[in-house]
A and B are shown apart, each in its own frame.
Chain A
Amino acid sequence: VDTPYAKLKAFQEALVQQGVLTPREFETRLLSHLRGLCGADISPETHLFSSGLINSLKFIELMVFVETTLGIRVPNSRLSAEFFQTPRVIVDTFCAGKPC
Chain B
Amino acid sequence: VLKLPIELDGPPPVAAHVAELISGGDVVVSGNQVVRLGGAALALQRRLLSVFRSLAAGLEAEERAYPVLIPAAVLARTDYFISFPHQATVATHLQEQGLEPFVQAMRAGGAPTAELSGRLDAPEQLLSPAVCYHCYAELSGVQLSRPLEVLTATGRCFRREDAEACLPLARQREFTMHEIVLLGRPERVTAAREQLLGRVLELARRVGLRGRVVQASDPFYGSVEGRARSVLQQAGQLKLELVVDCGDREIAIASFNRHEDYFGRAFSIESDEGKPIHTSCIAFGVDRWMRAVVAARGASPAAWTEALSAGSEVAT
Q: A residues bordering B, Cβ < 8 Å?
A: 49, 56, 59-60, 62-64, 67, 73-74, 79-81, 83-84
Number of interface residues, chain B, beta carbon within 8 A: 14
Stretch at the interface among B34-42, B146-154, B229-237: B229-237
Roughly how many angstroms separate A59 CA and B234 CA in the complex, as a whole number? 13
The 6 lowest CB-CB distance pairs between A and B, nearest first, are A81-B235, A63-B228, A60-B228, A79-B230, A49-B235, A56-B232
Contact: A67 with B231, CB < 8 Å?
Answer: no
For A81, give the chain B residue with the smallest CB separation: B235
With a CB–CB cut-off of 8 A, which chain B residues contact A60? 224-225, 228-229
Q: B residues bordering A, Cβ < 8 Å?
A: 217, 224-225, 227-232, 234-236, 260, 262
For the complex, would chain A's binding face be called helix, strand, loop or mixed by DSSP majority? Answer: helix
For B79, give the chain A residue with the smallest CB separation: A60
With a CB–CB cut-off of 8 A, which chain B residues contact A59? 228, 231-232
Contact: B235 with A79, CB < 8 Å?
Answer: no
With a CB–CB cut-off of 8 A, which chain B residues contact A81? 231-232, 234-235
The number of A-B residue pairs with CB atoms under 8 Å apart is 40
Known: A56-B228, A60-B224, A73-B227. 20 other contacts (CB 8 A): A56-B262, A60-B225, A60-B228, A60-B229, A63-B227, A63-B228, A63-B231, A64-B224, A64-B228, A79-B227, A79-B230, A79-B234, A80-B231, A80-B234, A81-B231, A81-B232, A81-B234, A81-B235, A83-B231, A84-B231
B229 CB to closest chain A CB (Å) equals 7
Most buried by A among B217, B225, B230, B231: B231
B77 CB to closest chain A CB (Å) equals 15
Most buried by A among B227, B229, B234, B260: B227
A75 CB to closest chain B CB (Å) equals 9
Roughly how many angstroms separate A84 CA and B224 CA in the complex, as a whole number? 15
Contact: A84 with B235, CB < 8 Å?
Answer: yes
Most buried by B among A62, A67, A80: A80
Contact: B224 with A56, CB < 8 Å?
Answer: no
Roughly how many angstroms separate A74 CA and B232 CA in the complex, as a whole number? 14
With a CB–CB cut-off of 8 A, which chain A residues contact B225? 60, 63
Roughly how many angstroms separate A34 CA and B196 CA in the complex, as a whole number? 37
B158 CB to closest chain A CB (Å) equals 25
Roughly how many angstroms separate A81 CA and B260 CA in the complex, as a whole number? 18
A–B Cβ pairs within 8 angstroms, 12 of them: A49-B235, A56-B260, A56-B262, A59-B228, A59-B231, A63-B224, A79-B230, A79-B234, A80-B231, A81-B231, A81-B235, A84-B231
